[in-house]
Each structure stands twice: as C-alpha cells, then as structure tokens.
Chains A and B, each alone.
Chain A
Amino acid sequence: MVNDAKVDIRNLNIWFGDNHVLKDISFKIRENAVTAIMGPSGCGKTTLIRAINRMNELTYGCRTSGEVYIDGHNIYDGNINVYELRRKVGMVFQKPNPFPKSIYENVAFGPRIHKMANGRKLDEIVERSLREAALWDEVKDRLHDNAFNLSGGQQQRLCIARALALKPKIILMDEPCSALDPAATVKIEALIRRLSKSYTVIIVTHNLQQAARISDFTAFLYMGKLIEYGETKGVFENPRNELTEKYITGKFG
C-alpha cells in the first residue's frame, strides 16, 4: 500500500516495566502525507509516535525491541545521534507549550542551540518558519512580545513554527487541537494539510472526524496492537476489521 515509505516500523515492541504497551507493530508511513493514529485511551498511540523520535527512552523503565527505519536507517542502531534524530523529527504536543520567552526567541531557540544560524540568517529562519506556520501576518509587528500573550491557537501555531525552524523531515503531533476552539482547530487543520506537501506528518487524535478530514492514511490501535491501517477513505467507509467498525461508529464497550 505504501511504497515510498518515509518511516518503516518493523516488529516494534515497547514495554514500560512489565507493561507491554506496543505489541509487534509493523507498518510503513508515506512521505509527504498525513497519517493519523487513532484508538481508545491507553491503546499506545502516544507511545507509538514517541517511538519515532526515541522520546520513550526518556521514561524510566522503557524497553524497546524491533526497528524503526527513517529514510532507510534504523533509528535504534547504536550509532544514531539522538539529538540529530530529534531535530529531523519535530514534535508538537497536546497543549501549546511555548517557552516563557518572546515570539521571536521561541522560534530562534532551536536553530540557535543547534548552531544553525545567527544574525540576519536567523531572522530569515524565524520569518520563514512563522510564515510556514501561517502565523507571520498576525505577529510580524510584535515579534518581541511574550509568547504567552498569544491566543491558544496562535500559541499552537507558534509551537509548530518552533518545530519547523529546525527544518525537520517529519512532524509528530500529539492531539494538537484538543485544547483549541473550533475556529483555531480549523486553522491548524488547514495548516497540517498544507504542511503535508513538504513534510511527513504523523498525528495522534481522539477526534475521529478530524482524522477523517485531514489524514491520507489512518492507523487504528487497540490494546497495543495495530488492528487496521489503510487509506483514510477506506477505513472510514468500509473498515475491514470488526473492531475498527465498532470503535469508529461508537459501538465499543
């Protein structure tokens, strides 16, 4: 189904202590497309996307087996530079979490510590990232205001700009709209679609209609297992697995 895979997950198992959270997950994620991961609370969605930038290992007691290939390289190989990996694989979280700094500094922070640029070059990166995140026009005259003065939706777009500033290849999003109102959600969704032209977007969402609206592919996880994965239209029109059918129609439990 997915031939030009950006991410190729093979036999991925993750434990937190004795808790076997992900069970033998294998699937390929298409480049420059939006892939949604859905499933009930506790099914392993967040653990799955955090496996793609090795964030799980920051949690005590986490054990991983299997492989995750990005552009053909297994990111769990011993010789992988984790900081470089996380630069390539950006992440946006559920609640907007800007740094307690200015709008400008939020976006400049990453390129600066990665020593990517300074001066005029850094200004350019900040502008490009804010433009890509559809925030530039709203903040260009107050770049040095505190980021906390922005609305929730603007803060979330700022966090997306902050991720984009590092020129990632992949953007992971963990319920990026769940703390936002419908108007802000519409903007982020349109932005996600636009970003998917140049980035590989992987999004965890509880909102099924959001998955249906914005994703090209949908994966359904249940109790740590990948139950179904396919083109979004197919999954929502004619799911092949009975569990998927029950979950998306609300017949669960």
Chain B
Amino acid sequence: MNRLIDIGLEQLSRLIFKMGDLSEKTVSLSFDCYLKGIDVYEKVQVWSETLVSLSEEAEDKIVELIVRYQPVASDLRTIKSYMKIAYDLSRYGRYAWDITHIHKRLNIKLNECRFPWMPLEEISGKVLEMVQASIEAIKKHDVDLAKTLNTMEREVDEIYYRCLDKLVEQSPPLTRCVVSTLLFIRHLERIADHAAYIGESVIYIVTGERISLR
C-alpha cells in the first residue's frame, strides 16, 4: 500500500525533473546564443522565469509535505535536498539568461572577440556535460554519476583560472572583449559549482553522507 506522503513525493519529483529538463535546455540555448550568435534572448528569459516559478511551486509543495507528514529519514533527506536542488536548477536558468545578455549589453558582434587561445568550446562543453550529469543523477539517484561531478568541476576550475590569468594580460583596446569573455566564463564557472552542489545533494539523499564535490 502506498503511503500518503508518496503521492506528494511523486508530484515533487515530477516537478524537479521537469525543472531539470527545462534548465538543461535553457543553459544549452544560452551557450548557442553566446558562441553562435543565435538570437534566443527572449526565449531564455521566459524559461529562466518559468524556472523561478517552478522552484517556488516546489518550495510550496515541500512546506506542505513537512506540515502534513513531518518526514523523517530518507523522506526527510529527499525533501530537504529537493528544496536545495530546486534553487540550484533555478540558478542554472538565471546564469543562462545573464549569458544571453552579455553581447547585447556590451554591443559586441559575434566573432569580434575571439581570443584564439581561449578554449570557450571546451569549457562550455564541459559545463553542459556537468549540467546533464547533475540532472541525470537526480533522476536516477545515481551516486556514482554524482561523484564524477567532482573531477569535472576541478577541470572547469582549472581552465577558468588559466583563462583568467591570460585575460588580465590583455592590453586596453581589448577591454570590452576581456569583460565579455570574463563574464561568460565566470557564469560557466558558477553553473559548474551548482552542478556540483546538486551532486552533493544526490549523494546526501541516497547515503546520508555530506561530502564536498568542490
């Protein structure tokens, strides 16, 4: 026989998975916007806002589950972690939106600012992979997959700091390009952090252990 709380947990999971799918699409689209100049500014804005309202919906659901059922053990860990994960997923959306802003805000044309030494494809590819892995880990409660985020996060950090060092060496005429690139990789680095947070939450749900993946 199903427990009453299972019905609520099921609804909550569906909501989180929906957020996962939407946030992945949002992030991926924002990278296309920055790297390929595809105009998706409005779409990403709408999706980012949708993610925020879904995260509020998840929070409401969570409060209701706590009030009604006073969850314990794995129920408690799941509910507590889904609250955090909903926030992490809404941050994916927010950074994606910020990424679509950059060129517009600084009035930069596509390919105007390509530093040949800057591995933008590599770092954005890795970050997208992290986003996908984090969402897959939530859906499958996959601890091993969650743990792989640790290595990926370190790789992203490594590229990020290497690029930072080179960016500060650029001379003044390139300032706009430096700022643009800096903002992009900074948002990428933040997205990677949230992917790692999600991995930590998944591990906590399944094992109860709190380990750092950063």
Q: Do A and B come from one complex?
A: yes
Indicate whether B77 reaches chain A with its CB closer than 8 angstroms. Answer: yes
Q: Do A250 and B3 touch across chains, with their CB atoms under 8 A apart?
A: yes
Indicate whether A139 reaches chain B with its CB closer than 8 angstroms. Answer: no
Chain B residues near A208 (CB, 8 Å)? 72
Indicate whether B143 reaches chain A with its CB closer than 8 angstroms. Answer: no
Indicate whether A59 reaches chain B with its CB closer than 8 angstroms. Answer: no
| A250→B70 CA distance, assembly (Å) | 12
Q: Do A238 and B3 touch across chains, with their CB atoms under 8 A apart?
A: no
| A209→B5 CA distance, assembly (Å) | 15
Q: Do B208 and A237 touch across chains, with their CB atoms under 8 A apart?
A: yes
Q: Chain B residue with minimal CB distance to A247?
A: B73
Q: Do A237 and B72 touch across chains, with their CB atoms under 8 A apart?
A: yes
Contact (A209, B3) CB under 8 Å given A236-B76, A238-B208: no
Q: Chain B residue with minimal CB distance to A236?
A: B72
Q: Do A237 and B73 touch across chains, with their CB atoms under 8 A apart?
A: yes
Q: Chain A residue with minimal CB distance to B70?
A: A209
Contacting A251 at CB < 8 Å: which of B3, B77, B208?
B3
- Nearest chain A CB to B9's CB is how many angstroms away? 10
- Nearest chain B CB to A208's CB is how many angstroms away? 7
Q: Do B73 and A244 touch across chains, with their CB atoms under 8 A apart?
A: yes
Chain A residues near B3 (CB, 8 Å)? 249-251
A-contact bits for B68-80, CB 8 A (1 contact / 0 none): 0011111111000
Q: Range of interface residues on chain A?
A: 10 to 19
Chain B residues near A251 (CB, 8 Å)? 3
Contacting A212 at CB < 8 Å: which of B72, B74, B77?
B72
Q: Do B73 and A245 touch across chains, with their CB atoms under 8 A apart?
A: yes
Q: How many residues of B contact A (CB 8 A)?
A: 11
Contacting B77 at CB < 8 Å: which of A209, A238, A244?
A238
- Nearest chain A CB to B165's CB is how many angstroms away? 42
Chain B residues near A244 (CB, 8 Å)? 73
Contact (A249, B74) CB under 8 Å given A237-B208, A238-B208: yes
- Nearest chain B CB to A24's CB is how many angstroms away? 25
- Nearest chain A CB to B141's CB is how many angstroms away? 15
- Nearest chain A CB to B134's CB is how many angstroms away? 22
Q: Chain A residue with minimal CB distance to B208?
A: A238
Q: Chain B residue with minimal CB distance to A244?
A: B73
| A245→B72 CA distance, assembly (Å) | 8
Q: Do B70 and A249 touch across chains, with their CB atoms under 8 A apart?
A: no
Q: Chain B residue with minimal CB distance to A208?
A: B72
Indicate whether A117 reaches chain B with its CB closer than 8 angstroms. Answer: no
| A208→B3 CA distance, assembly (Å) | 16
Q: Do B73 and A248 touch across chains, with their CB atoms under 8 A apart?
A: yes
| A238→B77 CA distance, assembly (Å) | 8
B-contact bits for A229-241, CB 8 A (1 contact / 0 none): 0000000111100
Q: Chain B residue with minimal CB distance to A212?
A: B72
Contact (A238, B73) CB under 8 Å given A250-B3, A251-B3: yes
| A125→B71 CA distance, assembly (Å) | 43
| A212→B76 CA distance, assembly (Å) | 13
Can you list 13 A-B contacts (CB < 8 A)? A208-B72, A212-B70, A236-B73, A236-B76, A237-B73, A237-B76, A237-B208, A238-B73, A239-B73, A249-B5, A249-B74, A249-B75, A250-B5
Which residues of B pack against A, CB within 8 Å?
3, 5, 70-77, 208
Given contacts A236-B76, A249-B71, A249-B74, 16 further A-B contacts (CB under 8 A): A208-B72, A209-B70, A212-B70, A212-B72, A236-B73, A238-B73, A238-B208, A239-B73, A245-B73, A248-B72, A248-B73, A249-B3, A249-B5, A249-B72, A250-B3, A251-B3
